[in-house]
């Protein structure tokens, strides 16, 4: 492990907020949490807010996730969660090789924009070899290429009241509750972090469908479930009132923490 910054576990060991490790376990814990009363959920959410603030305080906003070399890539990026959105809209895009795809950027921005894949490919790119940690307990190292989210945001110019970047996706979770489409969010600090990219390439090839084609988020200082795949649009918001379950993301609506720092 090179340049490994203070890991979440070490960090928690140093502080008195160990309670939030309760929410770190995988799906069993998730099912359990889903059935608990609101009080338990509230305590855990407060602990999550504390972890977020303490991590920002101790580590600052600028630290980089570790980057690796090619020889560290030992297996393919294991597809997880949805591996193909089963909607008519996505199928149509697939059949046309994503030619009509446009990423729209709207909400609290000075300029509402949309980008074709060609336009995104022609913007400044960043390639990084990083480790993906899934909350289920596996990790993979892979090389990701994409456009820094900050470049896209600079063009759309978020309004001063914008606080979060929301990613609306094409997929529904198989077996998930109801008809909810996947969505996720990060704050503007993570959005403008140099390693936060909208990736269209994986290990020197176009991003495979199962890993989120045509565009997926990499937000390297957080866990895998924060890295929205199959991104359809980006929305800048100041609050989540009225956006699905109101908890700032699909997994968050189902009991996971919003800030999933590694
Ligand atoms: N749209 C969407 N994004 C998603 C998911 C999903 O089901 N749908 N799963 C998340 C989870 S839990 C993980 S670990 C990663 C998996 O990315 P991979 O398939 O490239 O390994 O995507 C995340 N982003
Ligand atoms: Mo995950």
Q: Which residues line ligand 1 (CB under 6 A)?
A: 77-82, 134, 169, 171, 173, 182, 211-212, 224-225, 227-230
Per-residue pLDDT of the chain (262 residues; tens, 9 = 90+): 344 444 444 433 333 333 333 343 333 333 334 444 556 666 777 788 887 888 888 877 889 999 999 999 999 999 999 999 999 999 999 999 999 999 999 999 999 999 999 999 999 999 999 999 999 999 999 999 999 999 999 999 999 999 999 999 999 976 666 678 999 999 999 999 999 999 999 999 999 999 999 999 999 999 999 999 999 999 999 999 999 999 999 999 989 999 999 8
Q: How far away, in angstroms, is 211 Cα from ligand 1 center?
A: 7
Closest CA to 235 of 163, 127, 142: 163
Please tell me the predicted confidence (pLDDT) of residue 4. Answer: 45
**Encoding tokens for residue 89?**
């809209």
Please tell me the predicted confidence (pLDDT) of residue 47. Answer: 81
Please tell me the predicted confidence (pLDDT) of residue 178. Answer: 65
Residues 123 and 11: their CA atoms lie apart, in Å, by 37
Q: How far away, in angstroms, is 181 Cα from ligand 1 center?
A: 13
Please tell me the predicted confidence (pLDDT) of residue 137. Answer: 94
Please tell me the predicted confidence (pLDDT) of residue 174. Answer: 63
Backbone angles phi, psi at 37, to 5 degrees: -75, 170
Query: Atom of ligand 1 at shortest distance to CA of 78?
Result: 21
Pocket test for ligand 1, best of 87, 229, 232, 257 (most atoms within 8 A of CB): 229
What ligand has the least distance to the C-alpha of 227?
1
Residues 88 and 231: their CA atoms lie apart, in Å, by 15
Contacts of 135 (CB under 8 A, 6+ apart): 24, 26, 223, 224, 225, 256, 260
Backbone angles phi, psi at 230, to 5 degrees: 50, 50
Q: How far away, in angstroms, is 78 Cα from ligand 1 center?
A: 10
Closest CA to 121 of 167, 94, 83, 152: 152
- Cα angle 228, 138, 178; round to 5: 45
Q: How far away, in angstroms, is 62 Cα from ligand 1 center?
A: 25
Query: Atom of ligand 1 at shortest distance to CA of 167?
Result: 1
Please tell me the predicted confidence (pLDDT) of residue 176. Answer: 61
Please tell me the predicted confidence (pLDDT) of residue 66. Answer: 96
- Counting Cα atoms < 13 Å in the Cβ hemisphere of 173 gives 17
Please tell me the predicted confidence (pLDDT) of residue 55. Answer: 80
């Amino acid at each position: 492990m090179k340049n490994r910054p203070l890991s979440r576990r070490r960090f928690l060991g140093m502080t008195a907020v160990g309670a939030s490790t309760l929410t770190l376990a995988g799906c069993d814990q998730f099912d359990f949490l889903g059935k608990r009363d609101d009080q338990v959920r509230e305590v855990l959410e407060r602990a999550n807010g504390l972890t977020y603030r303490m991590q920002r305080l101790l580590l600052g906003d600028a630290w980089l996730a570790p980057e690796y070399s090619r020889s560290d890539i030992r297996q393919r990026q294991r597809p997880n969660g949805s591996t193909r959105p089963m909607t008519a809209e996505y199928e149509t895009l697939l059949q046309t090789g994503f030619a009509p795809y446009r990423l729209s950027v709207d909400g609290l921005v000075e300029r509402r924009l949309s980008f074709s894949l060609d336009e995104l490919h022609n913007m400044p790119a960043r390639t990084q070899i990083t480790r993906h940690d899934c909350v289920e307990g596996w990790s993979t190292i892979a090389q990701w290429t994409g456009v820094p989210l900050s470049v896209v945001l600079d063009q759309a110019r978020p309004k001063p009241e914008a606080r979060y970047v929301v990613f609306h996706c094409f997929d529904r979770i198989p077996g998930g509750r109801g008809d909810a489409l996947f969505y996720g969010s990060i704050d503007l600090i993570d959005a403008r972090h140099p390693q936060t990219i909208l990736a269209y390439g994986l290990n020197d090839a176009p991003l495979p469908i199962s890993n989120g084609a045509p565009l997926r988020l990499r937000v390297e200082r957080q866990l895998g479930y924060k890295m929205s795949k199959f991104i359809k649009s980006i929305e800048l918001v100041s609050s989540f009132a009225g956006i699905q379950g109101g908890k700032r993301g699909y997994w968050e609506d189902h009991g996971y923490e919003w800030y999933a720092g590694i």
